[in-house]
Copies of this chain bind each other. A is one copy, B any other.
Amino acid sequence: MSLQQKLTGTGIAIITPFNEDRSIDWAAFENLINFWIENKVEYLVAIGTTGESATQTREEEQEVFDFVKKVTGKRVPLVAGVGGNDTHEVLDAFKKMKLDGFDAILSVSPYYNKPRQEGIYQHYKALNDAAPLPIIMYNVPGRTGMSVSVETTLRIAHDCNNIFATKEASGSFEQINQIMKNKPSDFMLISGDDAITLPMIACGAKGLISVIANAYPKEYSDMVRLCLAGKFEEALPLHLKYLDMVDALFKEGSPSGVKYVLNKMGYCKNTMRLPVVPVSQAHEAKLDGLMAAVANR
C-alpha cells in the first residue's frame, strides 16, 4: 500500500494533554491514543498546531513522538509535525530527531517572517533535500500571515520528490481548484479545514487532517469515508450535524475548544500552555449545548 493510500481518510491533529504544572499528562495521552485508534481514524498527526507545537521544545516533542509511537504500536500510520519559520532550525531538527516508526512529516510554511514565494519555495526545497521522511506541506494563511500560492505549491509538488501532499487550510476554493487542476497525479490534496472537508473531497481532496476528530473520531471519519466513497448524499447530514460544533471549536481558539469538550468527556484536563487559555464560561455553555445536540440526534 502506498503512503498516499495509507493516508487517505481522516488523520487527527492530536492534542497534547497537559497537567496543571505544564507537564504532559501521559496517562490521559495513552487513553486518548487508544480512544482515537479504536474509533477507526486512519492515522494520527502528533505535534501539529493542535498539539500546541508552539509551546513545546524539540526535546519535549521528541518525548511525545516516542510515546505516541509506543502506544500506537503500529496499529495506524503516524505523522510527525516538524515545522518552523527558521529553515536552519528545522533542518537541525530533521537531523537530531528520531522519527523511525513514523510514516511522514507535516511541516507548516514559515509564519510571521513572511518570506516571498521564492523564500517559501527554497524553504521547502531545503527540507525536501534533507528529509528523513516523506513530507506533507501545510498552508494555513490565517495563522502564517502568508499564503503559499498555487504557483509555489505546484512548483514544490513538481520539483520536490519527498513532498507528496499538501494540507490546505486557506479556505479558498479558487486555490483548491487550481491545485487540483494542475497538480501531478500522485500529489495529494488533504483538507486542513473540518468545516469544508465535504466540498473539498468533492473537488478531489483525499481526506482530512482534523481537529474535531479528536473528540468525534468515529463520527467524523465516517463522514469522510462516505465522501471518499462518493456517497455525498449520505455524508451530507453528518457534515451538517457537526457544523456548529466545528465552528464552536475554533471560536475561542484551538485547541481550547476541543480540549474543553474532551475534558467534559473525561479524557483529559482542560489545560493549555500560555498564551493559549481555556474557553470562556459563556463559551463552555455553548459547547455543552452542542455536545448534547450532537449526542441526541
A→B interface (CB under 8 Å):
22, 49, 52, 54-55, 85-89, 110-116, 118-120, 122-123, 126, 142-145, 171, 173-174, 177-178, 180-181, 195-196, 198-204, 230-233, 236, 239-240, 243-244, 247, 252-254, 256, 273-277, 279-280
Expressed in whole angstroms, the minimum distance between the Cβ of A112 and any Cβ of chain B is 4
Q: Can you offer 26 A-B residue contacts whose CB atoms are under 8 A?
A: A54-B112, A55-B85, A55-B87, A85-B275, A86-B273, A86-B274, A87-B275, A88-B273, A111-B143, A113-B275, A114-B143, A115-B274, A115-B276, A119-B276, A122-B274, A126-B274, A173-B199, A174-B195, A177-B195, A177-B196, A178-B243, A180-B236, A181-B243, A199-B200, A202-B202, A230-B230
With CB as the reference atom, state the residue of chain B lying closest to A83. Answer: B112
Copies in the complex: 4
A119 touches B275 (CB 8 A): yes
What secondary structure prevails in chain A residues at the interface with B? helix
In whole angstroms, what is the CA distance A196 to B177 when docked? 9
Inside 8 A of A181's CB, which chain B residues have their CB?
Answer: 240, 243-244
Q: Which residues on B sit within 8 Å (CB–CB) of A195?
A: 173-174, 177
Checking B112, B118, B145 against A280 with a beta-carbon cut-off of 8 angstroms, the contacting residue is B118
User: Contacting A274 at CB < 8 Å: which of B119, B239, B256?
Assistant: B119
| Chain B residues within an 8 Å CB radius of A280 | 116, 118
Decide if A86 touches B119 in the complex (CB within 8 Å).
no
Q: Complex formed: what's the CA distance from A252 to B115 in Å?
A: 8
Chain B residues with Cβ below 8 Å from A244 are: 181
A110 to B200, CA, bound (A): 30
Asked, given contacts A86-B55, A145-B143, whether A236 binds B203 with beta carbons under 8 Å apart, the answer is yes
**Residues of chain B with a CB closer than 8 A to A115's CB:** 253, 274-277
CA gap between A55 and B113 in the complex, in Å: 9
Interface centre among A119, A178, A195, A274 (most CB of B within 10 A): A274
